[in-house]
A and B are shown apart, each in its own frame.
Chain A
Amino acid sequence: MTEKKKTSKVTPLFFARSYLSTESNKTGSWRFLRPRYEEKTAPCSVACPAGEDIGRIEMLTNQGMFKEAWETILRENPFPGVCGSVCYHPCEGACNRGEFDRAVAINAIERFLADTACKNELKPLLTKLPAKKEKIAVVGGGPSGLAAAYFLTLLGYNCDVFEATAEPGGVLRWGIPHYRLPLPVLERDISLIKDQGVQIKTGVHISKEFLKEIEKNYNGVFIGCGYSHSRKLEIPGEDLEGIEDGHAFLNRIRHGERPRLDGLYVIIGGGNTAIDVARSVVRLGGTPLIAYRRRRQDMPAFPDEIELALDEGVTLKELVIPVSVVPDKGDYVLTLHHMNITGEDDKGRALVEPDGSKIEEIRVKNVFKAIGEEPAESWCNPPHGGEGIVTLNNSVVDCRTESAAIVFGGDLTNEIKSVVHAVASGKEAAIALDILFREGLDAVEPEIGDCLVGNGSFCSMEIYMKRPRFDRSSHVVSYSEINADYFYLSQRITQPRLLREERLATFDEVNLKISASLAIRETERCFNCGLCNQCDNCYLFCPDLAIVRDKTPQGRHINYDYCKGCGLCVVECPRNAMVLVEETNEASTGRESSGS
């Protein structure tokens, strides 16, 4: 159909093209900087006393691999349900995302995973080392003792837990109110520990003599008796009939008592127990007032808890100390002395002294004492240094006796009395005993040092067992090392809670469950600092096509024949899972064809 006539000649084309492969040009020979895959340490995991691999937990959750994510928690912490409920989540305070918009809701995700595992009756697949001959006794069935027994069992030891009360759990069972930690959640975590083979003997009378006895039958003893004894106020009237210890009050409620309260109740103290008592008083109909000697910001109670307490109608009276309690016509008259701030200590807490004679009297229904706890008996306290004693970050190893090594842990050794610190202590003690049995006391401190997460003071079981986490760099990724261009601002999930009106009427759990879709959306926000999530940016950006996909866990390697060390891959890695290092003479031959 065409009328196109080619009458006049057109010169044949002569233009630039080549049928030679560019593979002959080994651009790797130009390289003086070398990129390499190197996973690093996320700041959240450093801040977590249990050393949980949080970046990976969030990644797996985001990929819908809930079981794997849950197992990743369990490798470092046997209490996902408990910690998902009551942990004060220092991880979130360290979260790099906090510098971008707001921290990832790590705590809510942990609870989601625990709930998901429960709902589906999942059985974890955990690595257990071959059986060892040594036997270990754990004195105290609280969180540190249970954690120690759990990790020792994973390390292959035969472990017996001795608990004085009728049921294991310690403060988790008798000290934390139901609205924060429902009993089934605790039971679930404990049964999981039992499933690993931990034997728990309850109702055992624990005494100094008992300790002497078991030292003969076991190679190691972990003492985690906790702080079960409330400190005294040392004021007139505190021992009057009816003036109650905060822990005892909480224990009564845990056992099902629901006294009807009416009128004003004063709680003396500023710790989590004081808050728990006050919030319980609200639920029982009373009007609680917390009297604290310093300021709100100085309170040892976790800030979130204080916030919720105030929201529920608890009143906080700062800068007062109790002077006396006097009974008066069925009520009590509590005398408070006002305090003056004289300065701040090195942690920024107010230093206070009584303000002359400024006194205040309040007519109250009752006074609860919650100024802190101490060990029930003095032999539970760890020794302070000396020959045969190694003081670690979260436990103290005592090898002075011939018969058995003793490790003190839990609240006895921890500065911060929290569940997750108890886990840290139990884990550290378990690892310390393993090192002690294999290599002796001198190896304990350096080897514990080798399995700390990043630059922190908490151990990782996974690092100790030289599992894949061991290969990561201990460099802690900072926000400036994240390529934030790859992330969008997105709202942190709001923790669903019972309405205030519902909370005031019951001891039902305040926090409500979150759905899988919310969990996936929230974990999408995680930077997974220092971890590769297979985003393939390195592959897409490499101008030399030097990133080669393979079947290794990394999923790809660098072909150094062609990598000219431009560093684009490293810059475009959103998560800082790569590193650019100076080329050494040895490596600069360009012959090496696979990555690390």
Chain B
Amino acid sequence: MKQVLEGSQAVAEAVRLSRVTVISAYPITPQTHIVEYLSDYVADGTLKASYLKVESEHSALASLVGAASCGVRTFTASSSQGLALMHEILHWASGARLPIVMAEVNRALAPGWNIWADQLDSLAQRDTGWIQLYCEHSQEVLDTVFLAYRLAEAVSLPVMVIMDAFFLSHTYEPVDLPEQKLVDRFLPAFEPKFQIDTADPVALSPLVTPDFYMEMRHNTAKAMEESILQLAEIEEDFSNIFGRYYGPVEPFLCDDAEIIMVTSGTMTGTARQVIQDLREKGEKVGLLKIKLFRPFPTEIIRKILGSAKKVAIIDRNFSFGAGGIFAQEVRAAMCNLPDCPWIFGYIAGLGGRDVTTDLLEDIYWRTKKSDVLSGESIWMGLQEEDHAVERS
């Protein structure tokens, strides 16, 4: 049934429909609405789950490590500083192979104190062993929660469902809210591959010597790799039931494109409009939306971008001393490809600044007109630094 839902509520509804058993979270803007909705559901009995009120994000995730070890479906949500505080336990959750699902609302890191959209918080956690899925709109974020549980439980790895602050978390959009019956069909009760059992005591996560540590890491690496194929199969199931499909990446008008713009998150919606406008003007331009960031779908991306002449990657994030993170990853993916397209990295929209159609169009024309390839990031829309602002 179609409803107009806030992005945060779409996540909460999906968690409810996923029949999560334990929720543990610490509120932080812009994630707060998600956990507020959920605590309401738990309080009024709509969702039969334990909601743990904890004193920090570190404890929020640590308590889910315990709960998930007991073999139940778990959920948390965080953002920015909160996610940074979870860092240690992020590694623990993946290393312990626990299928925890987290909604991560992309928000800039301080200082300067900023609560708006910026992807650096989640991208800074790219090496923690979590699967990362970046969403474009409310329907996608709702559907991706279901996909996340199926995927997490299939490969025994935790999954982050990632959404932009405010542009997605606080925006109301029409969303098709599925019936419980259908969700149950797609996402049956969790059958843990292991769980704590007092009748058969086991020490979890004990000391592991160099004799076994590498094998365990390799085992996790294989699970990461296998999750690409798993996700494809799960999405097939999903589209059979719900009639919607997203894919790890989504090419839009890429087949004959000479220049392909690469986006993630909510700016993709804006980019779709720009691509269509440019197409009407006769430009051979396409768009590649990257949804699955970890594992990075290298093969698919090489295939799609390989035929283009130029690629323009727009990053709403920046790794100091390196560049836009999606740009780095795409460059690495395209490495050693014969006739590799020229790859340009653009930085835009940090700290919640709007990425407009004009700005994206500007990026297109800059890319088209460039006759020199530079590896340097191009910061879009920078104003002249006004030091007087510091005192005002």
Contacts and interface: CB of A to CB of B under 8 A. Distances in A.
B202 interface: yes
Nearest to A8: B229
B206 A4 contact: no
A387 interface: no
Contact of B206 (A2, A10, A13, A17): A17
Contacts of A401: none
Contact of B203 (A8, A9, A20): A20
Contact of A3 (B97, B156, B186): B186
A1 B201 CA distance: 33
Contacts of B186: 3-4
B337 interface: no
Contact of B226 (A2, A10, A14): A10
A21 B229 CA distance: 38
Interface stretch (B25-33, B114-122, B216-224, B270-278): B216-224
A2 B205 CA distance: 32
Contact of B230 (A10, A13, A15): A10
A16 B230 contact: no
Given A17-B203, A20-B203, A22-B203, A11 B97 contact: no
Contacts of A552: none
A15 B96 contact: yes
B208 interface: yes
Interface string B192-203: 011000000111
A4 B220 CA distance: 23
Dominant SS among interface residues on chain A: loop
A3 B240 contact: yes
Nearest to B237: A3
B233 A8 contact: yes
B185 interface: yes
Contact of A1 (B188, B194, B220, B222): B188
Interface string B137-159: 00000000000001000111000
A19 B199 CA distance: 12
A226 to B, nearest CB: 64
A8 B230 contact: yes
Contacts of A347: none
B237 A11 contact: no
Contacts of A7: 233
A329 interface: no
A153 B155 CA distance: 82
B265 interface: no
Given A14-B219, A20-B203, A4 B155 contact: no
B222 A11 contact: yes
Contacts of A19: 201-203
A15 B91 CA distance: 13
B184 interface: yes
B237 A18 contact: no
- Counting contact residues on chain B (CB < 8 A from A), the size range is 20 to 34
A3 B185 contact: yes
Given A1-B184, A3-B241, A5-B233, A10 B204 contact: no
Contacts of B240: 3
B205 A17 contact: yes
Contacts of A8: 226, 229-230, 233
B62 to A, nearest CB: 16
B351 interface: no
A15 B99 CA distance: 14
B286 interface: no
A515 to B, nearest CB: 38
B324 interface: no
B95 interface: yes
Contacts of B237: 3-5
Interface string A1-45: 111110111110111111111100000000000000000000000
B188 A11 contact: no
B205 A11 contact: no
B208 A16 contact: yes
B222 to A, nearest CB: 5
A15 B202 contact: no
Contacts of B127: none
B215 interface: yes
B154 A18 contact: no
A321 B210 CA distance: 93
B266 to A, nearest CB: 31
Contacts of A2: 185, 188
A197 to B, nearest CB: 60
A23 B241 CA distance: 51
Nearest to B94: A15
Given A3-B237, A8-B226, A8-B230, A13 B193 contact: yes
A55 B7 CA distance: 60
Nearest to B238: A3
Interface string A336-358: 00000000000000000000000
A13 B229 CA distance: 17
A4 B202 contact: no
A406 to B, nearest CB: 69
B17 to A, nearest CB: 15
Interface in B29-56: none
A10 to B, nearest CB: 6
Contacts of B222: 11
Nearest to A22: B203
A310 to B, nearest CB: 52
B229 A15 contact: no
A15 B216 contact: yes
A190 to B, nearest CB: 59
A4 B240 CA distance: 11
Contact of B154 (A10, A14, A22): A10
A14 B221 CA distance: 11
A18 B188 contact: no
Nearest to B221: A11
Contact of A10 (B96, B212, B223): B223
A4 B150 contact: yes
A8 B212 CA distance: 26
Contact of B215 (A14, A18, A20): A14
Nearest to B186: A3
9 contacts: A2-B185, A4-B188, A10-B223, A14-B219, A15-B96, A15-B219, A17-B202, A17-B205, A18-B203
Given A2-B185, A16-B95, A16-B212, 8 more contacts: A1-B185, A1-B188, A2-B188, A8-B233, A11-B226, A13-B156, A13-B193, A16-B208
Q: Give me the 7 closest cross-chain CB pairs, A-B, nearest first.
A: A14-B219, A18-B203, A18-B206, A2-B188, A11-B222, A15-B97, A8-B229
